[in-house]
Amino acid sequence: MQASSNGKGTSGTKGQPITYEKIPTQIFADSKEASNAVAREIADLIRQKQKENKPCVLGLATGSSPKTVYAILVRMHKEEGLSFKNVISFNLDEYYQMEPDSIYSYHRFMKEQLFNHVDIPKENYFLPDGTVPPALLRDYCMSYENKINAVGGLDFQLLGIGGNGHVGFNEPGSLINSRTRLITLDHSTRVAAGMEFGGLHNVPRKAITLGIAPILNARRVVLLAWGERKASVIRGAVEGPVTEVNPASYLQAHPDVTFVVDESAASELTRIKTPWAVDSVIWDNKMIKKAVTHLSLSLKKPILKLTDKDYNDNGMSDLLAQYGAGYEININVFNQLQHTITGWPGGKANADDTHRPERAQPAKKRVLIFSPHPDDDIISMGGTFQRLVDQGHEVHVAYQTSGNIAVADDEALRFIDFVVDFNKGFHIDSPDTNKLFLDAKEFLKHTKDSEIDTPEIRKVKGLLRRGEAKATCRFVGIPTSQAHFLDMPFYETGTVQKKPIGEDDIRIIENLIEEVKPHQIYAAGDFADPHGTHKVCWDAIEAALQRSKHKNFMKDCWVWLYRGAWAEWDIYEIEMAVPMSPDQVLKKRQGIFKHQSQKDGVVFQGEDSREFWQRAEERNRGTALLYDSLGLAEYEAMEAFVRWKF
């Protein structure tokens, strides 16, 4: 698929071009396609330099964004003979203080992702040293830049972008002439890294980073960004002013830079968010819904109050010309939104379902909810889960992973300690349990950054989360026999870094679908991180669905995607919205509270410091507020879904 790279449009005066994007930006359907294009460019550069008998000097990045690029380069080395013998690489940054063998170090990351799998000479790759004594740091940083200059400078610099616009670890406030240095990390950067480190308290406060000036000195720069969480900062860098508040905006001054993004990361760019303001568009139904809801919300006017003048004044005159009066367009979009709202997510028996999002038949459906982690079901669709049960459907929940890495060490110790005391209290002689407790206590007391939890500790943490999930099922009202704990193998590495999905993962999903024979499937549809657990879990579900779609029972199966506590579907995308009363919101909160290990100090907080129940309620109330603002019925809260079709 070709990437979209046109950032130009026409102004109100015909033929007068305007440019919104100050940095060339290529938009791909997904991160895999985008990564493949970037990997091909790097490979072509390496081969060209080989023909010229010259070294290829690469500046490399870490984090989740370049992982697929590195995986493709490794495949090209193994399958296409791409050699890295002429490559010299310099990484952007490293945490400080950080031992190179730590599981959190970028030295280890680069070896695991790339260096150990290709033929680059060990003396040819360089990363900042996170163990340099403070007194020597200034000279060390100068010498790191001098090494780059000594080999002729960077031919190609690969970048990611932080949620606050940082490139490398050049945080907001960094100057355009900044050099390689020790920097104090922004709080938002540390919070975002909390997932990799098992909590904010473990994240270093400082890092060594290549400065803005040496990054801009690279002959070619490519920046990667995936997911809607990067959308706002991408728009600022690409369309906004050059400012130290968004360091990525400095790249506007580079003569050969390209931003490579997926559709989600591009969603705030003018040509994506309001394409009718940039150029002529095809006014299909989806585009009309997007434009009308955007117009309504931006003008703060209910849809049914929009006028022809509103359309004309906001670049939508051609929509009026094509479809007639604004009133007719308003009615059409209003009715479509109205028809997404239902209190019967499993369908309403003996009712006309012409304008309902779900079928009336069969009256009692078999429902299979896939939950990537042991709490995603209740956090993301707890109100709908409860409705399905209350309305008599046979609801099954499939917990795809154990969720063990999200359990704090002290929670695991408390759990083991309880079992030891339980055995003593009931005179159960269990030397193995006592030994497990003592071994776990000793391990956690002396564990190093380079060590992962023992299999026994991971098992304990997984059992703790399994018990919480069972408690949620009992609370909602389904027997625990309808709770399926899949423990998918890709997850069980003991670290945030997971294995790719394999045949065993897909077969587990496929077998469960065959066993339940569902009429409805619900699955997590938030894919902001292409390497995140939600996305990998969906990849396994999708592969299993493709294998099963020819079976007779699948002809009656509809698949609905929900989103988690991080973000929600755009209003024009929503195809089913399930309203909740204040009492139902409170009951959902109580269900979330069953996951005690995830309360009062979540291990993987992300960029939002609130607890999951708070995020979920804000998201659900926000969805209801959108419907209300558009002129539809006012509800306390809503959960939203999009249908996925084979």
Q: Which active-site residues does the annotation give?
A: 171
Instruction: Pick left, alpha or beta for residue 53 (phi over 0 → left; psi -120 to 50 → alpha; otherwise beta).
Output: left
CA distance readout (Å), 359 to 1, 4, 351, 355, 644: 35, 38, 9, 10, 15
Report the candidate in 159, 189, 191, 166 with the shortest Cα–Cα distance to residue 92.
159
Residue 256 in tokens: 């050969």
What dihedral do alpha carbons 382, 385, 389, 393 form, nearest 10°? 180
DSSP assignment of 278-294, as one string? Answer: TS-----HHHHHHHHHH
Instruction: Quickly tell me which residue has 């830049």 as its tokens.
Output: 145
What dihedral do alpha carbons 386, 390, 391, 392 form, nearest 10°? 110
User: Which amino acid, 263?
Assistant: E
Q: Positive or negative, the Cα torsion across 209, 213, 217, 218? A: positive
What contacts 325, CB < 8 A, 6 or more positions away? 308
DSSP assignment of 354-370, as one string? Answer: TTSSS---SSS-EEEEE
Report the candidate in 247, 223, 222, 226 with the shortest Cα–Cα distance to residue 237.
247
Residue 232, classified by CB atoms within 10 Å of its CB into exposed (0-12), middle (13-18) or buried (19+), is: middle
